[in-house]
Amino acid sequence: MPNPNRAYLLGPLLQGVSRSFYLTLRILPAGMRDPVGLAYLLARAADTIADTALIPPAERLDLLLSLRNCINGGSDPARLSDRLLREVAGHQTHTKEKTLLESLRPAFDILAQLDDTDRDAVRGIVTTLTEGMEFDLRTFPDERSGELGVLQDLADLDRYTYLVAGCVGEFWTAMTYAHLPGVLRQDPAIMERRGIRFGKALQMVNVLRDCGSDLRIGRCYLPLELLNRHACQPRELLEPENSRRMRPVLFELVRLALDHFREAVAYTLAIPRTAVRLRLACLWPILIGLETLLLLVRNEAWLDPDKVSKIGRKRVYRILGGSVLLVMSDGMLRRWMEGEIARIETILPP
């Protein structure tokens, strides 16, 4: 029996909590929208729990693990929903996030109505994403402590970017093979690897763009291994006036991000020209991500949380419009994306 809340949960509510992702979701082929949209909603609810700073980290972790257990069928959704309403919903300052927590019971109903393949895939991706949130809660101090935690090495950063985004590319690829059979003609293992790199590329943009604000809640995702190589200390990153001196750190991580983006370009161009919706859903985050990286390498105050590198709405709309016009041309899309990469590389030192 259809869930009467499905249209609202995967429509207006999803739009209210997903920001730019909703643009991508709307353009997806119909069969992929429900499992991808539901996975996003459940992950967003988990993220709301993990980010509620008024609740001590240990309690947030317990709630997060309870949600993961419930998503995997290990406990009663009604009891968990009641607990989240009591312990978390009242702390939300954004109405949509409060509404999301209030809507978890019907979201679990939608999960139960998915076919076995989609339900297992949604459970798998949300489990991995919550492992990324668990990583944050176990690695970094309480946001109100005044302490600063730091990742130790590039391997930690790579693991983190997989847990919070690379796994999404993996899930996206699996959903494409399941719902659009015959569209992706390349070896699934190759596309899965590229999909993981695609997700990591986008998360690297987030890590670098949000560095200033993350540092102020005690989280340094720039690895100590890299900082030491450039004679930098984590607490020096808290001073915006050190932005210019810290640019070698930024540049090294931008190069890593660009390597991931090259795989994202290959992923997108492996999608046939006739799969217009799927192509656009991949093009948009790539183009927006690369333009954000360009702003970052030009931003001499990149560590200042008040001077975050973010492209404007008008530019986003121009990207959307331009991609629709060029979506059928492999050559023009390749030149556009590779041209963006080249513009960034001209600013990086040899």
Burial pattern 61-93, b for ≥16 Cβ within 10 A else e, equals: bbbbebbbebbeeeeebeebbeebeebbbeebe
Per the CB < 8 A criterion, the answer to whether 87 and 63 are in contact is yes
Per the CB < 8 A criterion, the answer to whether 47 and 101 are in contact is no
Per the CB < 8 A criterion, the answer to whether 297 and 254 are in contact is yes
Per the CB < 8 A criterion, the answer to whether 41 and 10 are in contact is yes
Mean pLDDT is lowest, of 22-26, 111-115, 198-202, 207-211, for 22-26
Closest CA to 158 of 97, 236, 223, 95: 223
- pLDDT, position 129: 98
Per the CB < 8 A criterion, the answer to whether 152 and 226 are in contact is no
Same fold? 1-139, 146-350? yes
Asked whether residue 207 carries a pLDDT value surpassing 60, the answer given is yes
308 CB-near residues (< 8 Å, 6+ apart): 209, 210, 212, 213
SS3 of residue 240 by DSSP = helix
Query: Which pair of tokens denotes residue 258?
Result: 């660009």
Map out the domains of the chain as residue ranges: 1-139, 146-350
Please state which architecture CATH assigns to domain 146-350.
Orthogonal Bundle (1.10)
Interatomic CA distance for residues 179 and 213, integer angstroms: 39
Interatomic CA distance for residues 262 and 251, integer angstroms: 17
Asked whether residue 80 carries a pLDDT value surpassing 70, the answer given is yes
Confidence bin at 26 (pLDDT 50/70/90)? confident
E-strand stretches of 74-233? 149-150, 219-220
E-strand stretches of the chain? 149-150, 219-220
Asked whether residue 4 carries a pLDDT value surpassing 50, the answer given is no
pLDDT tens, position by position, 284-314: 999 999 999 999 999 999 999 999 999 999 9
Interatomic CA distance for residues 310 and 333, integer angstroms: 23
Confidence bin at 176 (pLDDT 50/70/90)? very high
Interatomic CA distance for residues 247 and 206, integer angstroms: 17
Eight-class DSSP state of 162: I
Mean pLDDT is lowest, of 21-30, 62-71, 118-127, 317-326, for 21-30
Eight-class DSSP state of 242: G
The domain 1-139 is placed in CATH, from the list 3.40.710.10, 3.30.379.10, 1.10.760.10, 1.10.600.10, at 1.10.600.10
Residue 43: CB atoms within 10 Å = 22
Per the CB < 8 A criterion, the answer to whether 71 and 127 are in contact is yes
- pLDDT, position 2: 40
- pLDDT, position 1: 34
Give Dmax (Cα) for the chain: 62
Segment 155-172 mean pLDDT: 97
Asked whether residue 3 carries a pLDDT value surpassing 70, the answer given is no
